[in-house]
């Protein structure tokens, strides 16, 4: 009789969802890149990024191995920082003097450079010295961005800790040209990344990831050095 009761209890016990995977999820995230360099496509160096945004994911296909999701990101705050270029004229003839000029965000690279000069001015007066170029200080530019094209693949969806890959494409609009003043205020963006999603419950999780992030105007402006960044991002996610 006890065995029969046990069988009945097993039949009426509600089935437990074996997957940590929501149909719709929303996220709040922050992202930061402390530097930039030529990784794949961009050449502008010493740029920084700070992003604050929201995300939306929609489950598309899922099995025991992978949870394939559509991913959208909106960035109402997208900050980009460029080093400010400085030119110093160290004149030695006819009179020793030093003059410094603020060039703004014009340098693609901050590698120091020195160029000597010597020429004859009016009345045959010889002017000579050196021009030195370097970076000093930073210029922050505020903008907004959107990545409407995106995918995310979570692996091992039955586990609380899931590795994932992600990729997005979109645009960024800034209040002034970046990363140099000859470039444009409208840029295209794309990123590729990987990380881990840690589920605190069936509905809430935290994502931590690293992305290759690229910004470029696709030759729509006079200058297009592009920015390649290594972006660290953390997202708090909730949904059902």
Give the CATH number for residue 158.
2.40.160.20
Question: 75 with 162, same domain?
Answer: yes
Q: Of 105, 102, 58, 51, which Cα lies nearest the Cα of 234?
A: 51
Within a domain: 110 = yes
Domain that holds residue 35: 18-83+139-239
Mean pLDDT to the nearest integer, 167-189: 95
DSSP structural state of residue 150: E
The mean pLDDT of the chain is 91
- Report helix, strand or coil for 123: helix
Question: 24 with 74, same domain?
Answer: yes
Mean pLDDT to the nearest integer, 91-103: 86
Contact 196, 163 (CB under 8 A): yes
Phi, psi (degrees; rounded to nearest 5) at 2: -60, -40
Domain count, the chain: 2
d(C-alpha 55, C-alpha 166), whole Å: 13
d(C-alpha 136, C-alpha 154), whole Å: 43
Question: 162 with 72, same domain?
Answer: yes
Q: Is the pLDDT of residue 20 over 80?
A: yes
Question: 222 with 106, same domain?
Answer: no
Q: Of 73, 74, 121, which Cα lies nearest the Cα of 93?
A: 121
State CA 87 to chain mean position distance: 30
Question: 76 with 28, same domain?
Answer: yes
Question: 109 with 166, same domain?
Answer: no
Question: 67 with 147, same domain?
Answer: yes
Question: 55 with 148, same domain?
Answer: yes
Q: Is the pLDDT of residue 151 over 60?
A: yes
- Count of CA atoms in the C-beta half-sphere (13 A) of 121: 7
Within a domain: 7 = no
Question: 219 with 145, same domain?
Answer: yes
Question: 154 with 229, same domain?
Answer: yes
Most confident of 5-9, 122-126, 194-198: 194-198
What's the pLDDT tens digit per position in 225-234? 999 999 999 9
Within a domain: 133 = yes
Contact 38, 28 (CB under 8 A): no
Question: 88 with 53, same domain?
Answer: no
State CA 207 to chain mean position distance: 16
Mean pLDDT to the nearest integer, 167-182: 95
What's the pLDDT tens digit per position in 98-147? 988 887 778 898 888 899 999 998 888 999 999 888 888 899 999 999 99
Q: Is the pLDDT of residue 209 over 70?
A: yes
Q: Is the pLDDT of residue 218 over 60?
A: yes
- Report helix, strand or coil for 122: helix
Instruction: State what percent of residues in the chain have pLDDT above 70.
Output: 93
Instruction: State what percent of residues in the chain have pLDDT above 90.
Output: 71
Mean pLDDT to the nearest integer, 199-211: 96
Within a domain: 4 = no
Q: What pLDDT does 1 receive? A: 47
């Amino acid at each position: 009789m006890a065995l029969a009761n046990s069988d009945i209890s097993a039949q009426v016990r509600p089935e437990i969802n074996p997957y940590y995977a929501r149909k719709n999820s929303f996220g709040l995230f922050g992202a930061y890149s402390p530097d930039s360099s030529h990784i794949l496509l961009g050449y502008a160096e010493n740029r920084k990024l700070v992003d604050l945004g929201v995300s939306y994911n929609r489950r598309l296909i899922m099995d025991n191995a992978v949870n394939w999701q559509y991913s959208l990101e909106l960035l109402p705050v997208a900050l980009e920082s460029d080093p400010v270029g400085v030119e110093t004229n160290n004149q030695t003839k006819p009179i020793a003097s030093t003059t410094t000029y603020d060039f703004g965000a014009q340098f693609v690279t901050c590698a120091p450079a020195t160029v000597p000069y010597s020429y004859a001015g009016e009345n045959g007066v010889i002017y000579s010295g050196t021009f030195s170029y370097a970076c000093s200080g930073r210029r922050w530019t505020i903008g907004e961005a959107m990545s409407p094209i995106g995918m995310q693949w979570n692996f091992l969806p039955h586990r609380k800790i899931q590795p994932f890959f992600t990729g997005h494409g979109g645009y960024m609009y800034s209040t002034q040209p970046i990363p140099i003043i000859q470039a444009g205020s409208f840029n295209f963006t794309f990123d590729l990344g990987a990380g881990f999603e840690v589920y605190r419950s069936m509905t809430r999780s935290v994502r931590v990831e690293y992305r290759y992030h690229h910004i470029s105007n696709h030759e729509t402006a006079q200058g297009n050095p592009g920015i390649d960044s290594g972006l660290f991002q953390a997202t708090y996610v909730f949904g059902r």
